Amino acid sequence: MAWWWARNFYGDISRRAFFALHVGEKKLYHRFWACYHSAMFWKELGSALGVRVAIPPVSMSTQSSLAKWMLQWLSEASDEEKSMMIQGIYALWLARNETREGKKIEEPEQIAKAVVMRLEEWQRVMGGHGSVASSQLKDTWKPPEHGWLKANVDGAMVRSGVGGGGGVIFRDEHGVFRGAASVFFPDTCSAEVAELLACRRAVQEAVQKGVQKLHLETDCQTVAGMLNEKKRNLSAMDQIVEEVKSMCSSLAECKITWVRRTANRAAHGLAKLGISNMVSMFWDLVPPDCILSIVSDEILSLV
């Protein structure tokens, strides 16, 4: 299998990148990046590999504009980023093709795992050692530094593609629960926006709690990158990005970092709860049942 990839897929990286994209002009962006299923897939894959996912601008909705963007991106991306993008697009194309035979499309998490396995196989064939996702297995929640409060955040989308949920959980340097929120965002249309709204909620709660030093942790590299950027954000999400930055600057100290999904399980559970309940809920003293075992396990891992 790996030799097939070496000969047929990586031989001409620019041409093969578009092999999966022959599905009609206006459907390209939606099918491979914008729909709920694809957005969740890229988030899972980026989190598993620790590689920032490149998402074409919304304006790149035609095949010609996407082709131009992709070729430009390929000329600047690292080999690791190229591998993830090409394998990811091809995996989504295969998964969608199977639905033509009446099969239910695989869950985003399962497709992402299959891509990781292919990349590991490729690495072994090329003489690499170890596992592509070996560090993921060891990546667990870690407490903040002394005197800081950590807020883990996560955003998720409903399957219809309209509406999302956000999860926020606060814990101190000893792993002690200091509050949580499960929020429903009815008008959200992308995973990144849901993640940013969850970040905004976390900072708002921190300000209300009188927190001086906040460590904000997200499993979305794109969002972490935007919030850490010194220059003004010029994306379609610039308003909320700059709002979160401004709120963070009102604290004595604030830092924003990326972490893999395995170290952000509690926030992910709260985000999913917000979607399923379609209401916003808050907890101050005891974590909700949906994350109680996660919080307990992560405290025990510190001992």
Residue 61 has pLDDT above 70, yes or no: no
**Could you tell me if 81 and 182 lie in one domain?**
no
Which band of pLDDT confidence, cut at 50, 70 and 90, is reported for residue 134? very low
Ordered alpha helix ranges (H), 165-288: 191-209, 221-228, 238-249, 265-277
Distance CA 208, CA 247 (A): 11
Instruction: Give the pTM.
Output: 0.67
Q: Which domain holds residue 120?
A: 2-137
Residue 249 burial (CB count, 10 A): 8
Domain final residue, candidates 77, 109, 137 = 137
**Could you tell me if 74 and 48 lie in one domain?**
yes
Residue 163 has pLDDT above 60, yes or no: yes
**Could you tell me if 217 and 274 lie in one domain?**
yes
**Could you tell me if 112 and 239 lie in one domain?**
no
Domain final residue, candidates 137, 159, 179 = 137
Q: What is the pLDDT of residues 42-57, one digit of tens each?
A: 888 887 777 777 778 7
For the chain, the average pLDDT equals 83
Residue 143 covered by a domain = no
Number of domains in the chain: 2
**Could you tell me if 131 and 158 lie in one domain?**
no
Mean pLDDT of 120-133: 64
**Could you tell me if 155 and 285 lie in one domain?**
yes
CATH (domain of 175): 3.30.420.10
- The answer to whether 152 and 269 have CB atoms below 8 angstroms apart is no
Distance CA 143, CA 82 (A): 33
Residue 144 covered by a domain = no
